[in-house]
Amino acid sequence: MRRVLLWAARNRWLRDRVPRLWFARRAVRRFMPGERLEDALDAAERLKATGIGALFTHLGENLVEASEADAVSAHYLDALERIRARGIDGEISVKLTQLGLDLDAGLARRHLAALATRARELDAGLVWIDMEGSAYTEATVALYEELLPEHPNLGICLQAYLRRTAADVRRLLPRGPHIRMVKGAYDEPERIAYRSRAEVDASYLAQCIVILTDGRERAGRLGLGTHDVRLIEQVAAAAEVAGIGPEAYEVEMLYGIRVDRQRRLAAAGYPTRTLIAYGEFWYPWYVRRLAERPANVAFVLRQMLPW
């Protein structure tokens, strides 16, 4: 099921046609409050009462014109202003390909630096760099390394299923990074990625423990970007043994998934943040989210029904 879904996420014919179908748009409401920034901000407002923060991401990737990257950067700059104006505990998470990485690495660097600068001026928390497919991993890590000394409010997403991630963690720890650890949502070959769930989970747990313990005096925030509550509990237990409290890490789950669990974690004192995605180009992102947890497919099929 996971491989079929990842194939569907890459398929251009499906990407062009599925978003037009009314039942597909109905199903995507499970994971998105809407396509507009205003929809995402309204959803974040509703989360405030439960003590849950927000992480906003405007969907889209692999642009073909520099003007498109300029428009994405302008959108996020406006989003930062509006998040701040509404008093929302909200941060942004961006893809480098949205900022022009495929066109010009310098263009992406300038846009990312501008976003980090404005976020710092507004005291708007971190600007997170999403990790994309493995073809972009080295360029993403290298750009993060380059900008981090001047922009310490930048964070980076690492993927536990990549075999190189352990080396990337060791590489970044001396630089005081903020790291969001996720399992990974792309179809990568076995030579560079773990394929079994047991291997991915073991890598996830091991790297989180390294960040919390070896990086205790150097690393910034650790984001636990997973809906796997068992893994979260294992990380929390290992942290407790090491004398590290929940303030050292943050649970980060997607909008619409395990909502009750998110509320319980927040009520129990765990810093918790919901990633709220929005935008018109939701199809590949949405299908990759289903691939991360194929059990959600049954729920989505029920959402497609007219009753």
Q: Which of 296, 281, 298, 301 is nearest to 9 (CA)?
A: 281
Could you tell me if 230 and 203 are in contact, meaning their C-beta atoms sit under 8 angstroms apart? no
Could you tell me if 90 and 97 are in contact, meaning their C-beta atoms sit under 8 angstroms apart? no
Q: What beta strand segments (E) does 226-271 contain?
A: 249-254
Could you tell me if 261 and 229 are in contact, meaning their C-beta atoms sit under 8 angstroms apart? yes
d(CA 254, CA 261): 12
104 in catalytic set: no
Q: Of 102, 168, 180, 273, which one is the catalytic site residue?
A: 180
Alpha carbons within 13 angstroms on the beta-carbon side of residue 247 total 1
Q: Which of 16, 221, 41, 207 is nearest to 128 (CA)?
A: 221
214 in catalytic set: no
Q: Of 130, 168, 201, 228, which one is the catalytic site residue?
A: 130
Alpha carbons within 13 angstroms on the beta-carbon side of residue 288 total 20
Burial status of residue 171 (CB atoms within 10 A of its CB: 0-12, 13-18, 19 or more): middle
CB within 8 A of 47, min separation 6: which ones?
A: 53, 54, 274
Would you state the structure tokens that stand for residue 224, as one six-digit string?
Answer: 């636990």
Which active-site residues does the annotation give? 130, 180
